[in-house]
Chains A and B, each alone.
Chain A
Amino acid sequence: MNSSTESISDQLAELLTQYLKQNWVKSPLSNKLITASTNMVTELQLDSFQVMEYMLEVEDHFDITVDLESLSNIHTIEDLAGVVAAAHQE
């Protein structure tokens, strides 16, 4: 992970922490530190709708749009950071 995606991962983790708090999502990891390797589905137990809602927050934060098709390949914060970095370069 380079410094650019590391910085993006930090922002994504913070956004996800806020999302969990604001939406009262009960998750096994919600009170722990979310890291780049955190898996949103298996570890945080977010359902597909919640992942997609969180993605809308991410899109607005970074002023990007992410194609629906890309979402199926995103499992961890690090995966997502890669997508955000690629969208920035477009």
Chain B
Amino acid sequence: MSLLDKFAAVKETKNALGCTGQDPTAVVFDTIDTATLGTVNGRKTILAGTNNYLGLTFDPACIAAGVEALETFGSGTTGSRMANGSYAAHIALERELADFYQCPNAGVFSTGYAANLGVLTALLGSGDVVLLDSDAHASLYDGCRMSGADVFRFKHNDVQSLEKRLKRLETRANRCLIVTEGMYSVLGDCAPLAEISELKQRFGVLLLVDEAHSLGVYGEHGRGVAEAQGVLDQVDFTVGTFSKSLGAMGGFCASRHEVLGLFRYVSRPFIFTASPSPSVIATTREALRQLRSRPELRNTLWASARRLYSSLQGLGYELGPEVSPVIAVRFRDRDTALSSWYQLLKSGVYVNLMLPPATPGGASFLRCSVSAAHTDEQISTIIEKFTELKVT
């Protein structure tokens, strides 16, 4: 078999996905009118699969900040911070993130993926141990593998499974990091961080939590699931992204450990990539200010999430285990999920199609992500279109 032959199977899969008339991996948005409305195939479409939880992508203040940064600092940094230096706004955002998480240190990365790779490869090495939730995001898997540490998985959100593995570590526990997420992005379920923190303390290990989908969504101040469960002070490293609630692009890590400031000297995903552009940093800083000053965004988001969840549940759909802004609708097989996804798209509702092997339990899902910017009318339309799916 040649190097190129293996793509035959990829092509076959791609062609099968397009059998309904629209390949779900090749959707093109011709216009994006608002945070929750765009145009697909000439049809106005409600965007319910964007992770735009706070709906800030069209916020006038965020856009103004971005435009001003473009005009003042130019379109890009054209290099890495190690080689080309930092812009003042990079440092300011790191200071603001550290303040937000009430810890002395924060670092900014060019993407959320790079943040996980950068932190894990800096922190871990040969001889170290990671205990990783089995449903963790690919970036966490990749970071753990790249680090050279021994990677052991525990069953998703299963505290007993984690405890068993901690016990098996014996003396290796002093070089162990537990890695979880706050809210998991496929089913919208949250990690039992209070119980995991208890284990972390008992066994004397460190804890990293990826709050990519929970930043701005959970906790009194929007800091994430660890804050919501009252254990933020037990988290050694919080990682997250700017590309969801903050409506931009980039990633970060915040920590109470001073060593975070040294990561940039050993973290290849930080050193060998261009730093975030000035406009991205500017919109992120403004979005973070709004996240902190407008708790009503979270209240609106949760009201819409609760309404959509209970309505879909009432229609008899099998949903993820808890109410959250990520609402995963389970389908009995891949073909039904695919045709249902296409029917929703044709009727003007865009959601995410999630197929195995990227899904827990080999199941197929349509994933809705709710935004604070969704109007009541848009939520009603989404419910109506899911109702029509039930009768066809």
Is A65 touching B168 in the complex (CB atoms < 8 A)? Answer: yes
> How many chain A residues touch B (Cβ–Cβ < 8 Å)?
18
Known A-B contacts A48-B357, A68-B153; the reply to A63 vs B168 at CB < 8 A is yes
13 A-B pairs whose Cβ atoms sit less than 8 Å apart in the complex: A25-B362, A47-B357, A49-B356, A49-B362, A50-B362, A55-B153, A60-B164, A63-B164, A65-B168, A66-B152, A68-B141, A68-B145, A68-B151
A52 at the interface (CB under 8 A from B): yes
A23 to B144, CA, bound (A): 28
Known A-B contacts A23-B361, A53-B134; the reply to A69 vs B151 at CB < 8 A is yes
> How many chain B residues touch A (Cβ–Cβ < 8 Å)?
22
Counting residue pairs across A and B whose Cβ atoms lie within 8 Å, the total is 48
Contacting residue for B152 out of A23, A48, A68, CB 8 A: A68
Closest to B332 in A: A24
Is A56 touching B151 in the complex (CB atoms < 8 A)? Answer: no
Contacting residue for A50 out of B141, B144, B357, CB 8 A: B357
Known A-B contacts A64-B168, A65-B165; the reply to A49 vs B153 at CB < 8 A is no
Interface residues of A in 50-74 (CB under 8 A from B): 50, 52-53, 55-56, 60, 63-69
Is B168 touching A53 in the complex (CB atoms < 8 A)? Answer: no
Residues of B within 8 A of A (CB): 132, 134, 141, 144-145, 150-155, 161, 164-165, 168, 356-362
How near does chain B come to A26, taking the closest CB pair, in angstroms? 9
How near does chain B come to A75, taking the closest CB pair, in angstroms? 16
Known A-B contacts A68-B144, A68-B145; the reply to A47 vs B150 at CB < 8 A is no
For A67, what are the chain B residues with a Cβ–Cβ distance below 8 Å?
A: 150-152
For B356, what are the chain A residues with a Cβ–Cβ distance below 8 Å?
A: 47, 49-50
For B151, what are the chain A residues with a Cβ–Cβ distance below 8 Å?
A: 67-69
A47 to B357, CA, bound (A): 6
For A65, what are the chain B residues with a Cβ–Cβ distance below 8 Å?
A: 152, 165, 168
Closest to A48 in B: B357
Is A52 touching B362 in the complex (CB atoms < 8 A)? Answer: no
For A69, what are the chain B residues with a Cβ–Cβ distance below 8 Å?
A: 145, 150-151
